Structure 1
Amino acid sequence: MISVSSDAIAVQVRLTPGASRDCLAGSQTDAAERHFLSARVRAVPEKGKANTALIALLSRQLGIPKRDIDVIRGATSRMKTVRISAEGPEQGRVVAQLEAFANER
């Protein structure tokens, strides 16, 4: 679900657009035993609005600038890979927060 390199974090996210509120909703596992973070946004999946809302949600929840977050895979799919630019102590803090969100139910 979360992979770390020297300058970035990649996280697998399953995005549900058109939700009643924006939130990170814990982790889930699919039939292929892949783990991912579940996210819900109010935005509709049209013209990148849901992806933009996901980036804003992650920025707000993780306390990092939107410019440091990119959807690098799955732009038109529910399953996405999100890259978060972070190094050093900031990287450790972001990974810990992502793991905390993943453990929420």
Structure 2
Amino acid sequence: MDPWRYSAQGIAVSVRVTPRGGSDAIDGIETLANGRSVLKVRVRAIADGGAANRAVTELLAKALGVPKSSARVLSGATSRLKQIAVDGDPRRLGEMLRNLSASPDA
């Protein structure tokens, strides 16, 4: 099951963030203990003052080829588990995420 949902504006992605992860990267898809799928993301930024949230939205925007302003945190601003909205063509964004999450060196 994909960790994203499609909408008319784009997609909403469930992510699990690792702040201070050494580099900014998408590390694939993980299934949590409750059965929910999430996109694993790590960022160099620390989880302070919204720096990690900014890093996550910027990483996803860059990876999906959309402007930074097209990605925003929907929920989970103070949690490792977040919902990130990315505006754009939902089908194209979903296909790009599928390719990114399948590649271990994304």
- Return the TM-score normalized by structure 2: 0.91
Gaps of 5+ in 1: none
SS in 1 for 2:34: coil
Q: 1:39 aligns to what?
A: 41
* Aligned mates of 2:73, 2:47 — CA distance in 1: 14
Count of residue correspondences: 102
Q: Percent identity?
A: 36
Q: 2:66 aligns to what?
A: 64
Structural RMSD (CA) = 1.0
* Aligned mates of 1:59, 1:70 — CA distance in 2: 9
Runs (4+) of structure 1 moved beyond 4 Å? Answer: none
Matches within 5 A, 1:1-105: 1-86=3-88, 90-105=89-104
- TM-aligned CA deviation for residue 94 of structure 1: 1.1
Gaps of 5+ in 2: none
Query: For residue 48 of structure 1, what is the amino acid of its counterpart?
Result: G
Question: In 1, are the aligned partners of 2:14 and 2:39 still within 8 Å (CA)?
Answer: yes
